[in-house]
Amino acid sequence: MKTIRVACLFFVILFLFSALFSGIFLCVKSEAADVSYSSAKAMCVMEASSKRVLNSKNMNEKLAMASTTKIMTAITAIENCKDLDEKFEISPKAVGISGTSLYLRKGEVFSVRDLLYGLMLISGNDASFAIGEHVGGDINTFVKMMNETALKIGASNSHFDNTHGLDSKTHYTTAYDLALITSYAMQNHIFKEIVSTKNTKITNADGKTRYLKNKNKLLNSFDGCNGVKTGFTDDAGRCLVSSAERDGMTVVCVVLNCGPMFEECSRHMENAFENYKLYNLTEMYQFENVLPVTNGRSQSVEVCTYGKYFYPLKESELNKVKITYDIEKTLDAPIEKGQIVGEVKIYIDNNLHFSEKIFTIESVRRNSIWQKLFDVLTEW
């Protein structure tokens, strides 16, 4: 009897341990399978054209951004430099900036375009200062231009103290703002061309060549990757802004203070591409494109819209799209080409996202004896 009790107790203990370890295993497996999980202090995944946030964590927390600052430096320079190929001398102030360096020398001559490659591929802090000094006239003016550009974009929770991203108490951004800035910058073909470049070389006026290799590993490992910028400081930790395009949809991923930054950006962007598709919602219109006409030379007139509206949606979200039409049932001649005859609105989850007018695509003259007489006289 005692032996049976011991055996039963043994099996009970074995069962409890089995259940315990199974639970631990399932928890670990569940966490690993949770693609929305992030070890970053802050993270934001955004579809670039619509600015829709697809995934996030602490995306509005103000944090140091390290060299991802240079995204703002680059787009500010590109938009405010009259001639990117104009060559200029490197001033003494731009030489010897701490941190990652292009090792510029006083009096060297480069173009802004060359230095932009040095800025975005190998993260030259000295290049950032030289660019700012040349484009802004002085570095303080250029930093002011950076902050003005941020506000124009809508990045209201960001503030820039410098062009390179070295730590400063009042130099900060948020994951959301940085995704917004990057989405804006990627619309510029010059910026996009620079940040998508894997390897290049720049040569100064004396013929000395520097070979540049992009630090963004995802350009070689992630399908569709086309940018953008890495960064690291003690305060900011490892930071990465990445971008990729597939099937016409561009996804921007920002991770701030994230150890496995390349792995995390890859995972979050892959998840976005797997779950979302960029839809042209104007292709879902179903209004009658021919309207009847009274008192006209023609009994009908064709109408149309001209706009396009793209938005990323999961397949399960398509039923949240509602389209309403406010259009005249009958038109009375005369009718002018381009005459507004209605309006169409697109709602997603009861929120208005897009609206546009409906226009006639041809003229219709009035069918009257006076109109016929006028036509005869005009032709004569």
Catalytic residues, by residue number, are 67, 70, 123
| Coil/strand/helix, residue 203 | strand
Q: What share of the chain is helix, strand, coil (3-state, %, to 5)?
A: 40, 30, 35
Are the C-beta atoms of residues 111 and 127 closer than 8 Å to each other?
A: no
- 3-state DSSP of 114-146: HHHHHHHHCCCHHHHHHHHHHHHCCHHHHHHHH
- Report the candidate in 357, 366, 222, 369 with the shortest Cα–Cα distance to residue 293: 366
Give all strands (DSSP E) within the chain, no chain letters. Answer: 42-47, 53-57, 87-89, 109-111, 199-203, 209-213, 225-233, 237-246, 249-256, 277-280, 290-294, 300-304, 310-313, 321-327, 331-332, 340-348, 351-360
Report the C-alpha gap between 45 and 57 in whole angstroms.
9
* Those residues with Cβ within 8 angstroms of residue 215's Cβ, 6 or more apart along the chain or in another chain: 121, 122, 123, 230
Give kind and range of the element (H or E) at residue 99: none
Report the C-alpha gap between 210 and 47 in whole angstroms.
35
Helix 139-153 to helix 70-80 angle (10° resolution) is 100
Are the C-beta atoms of residues 170 and 159 closer than 8 Å to each other?
A: yes
Residue 206's CB is within 10 A of a number of other CB atoms, namely 9
* DSSP string covering 268-319: HHHHHHHH-EEEEGGGG----SEEEEESBSSSEEEEE-----EEEE-GGGGG
Residue 160's CB is within 10 A of a number of other CB atoms, namely 25
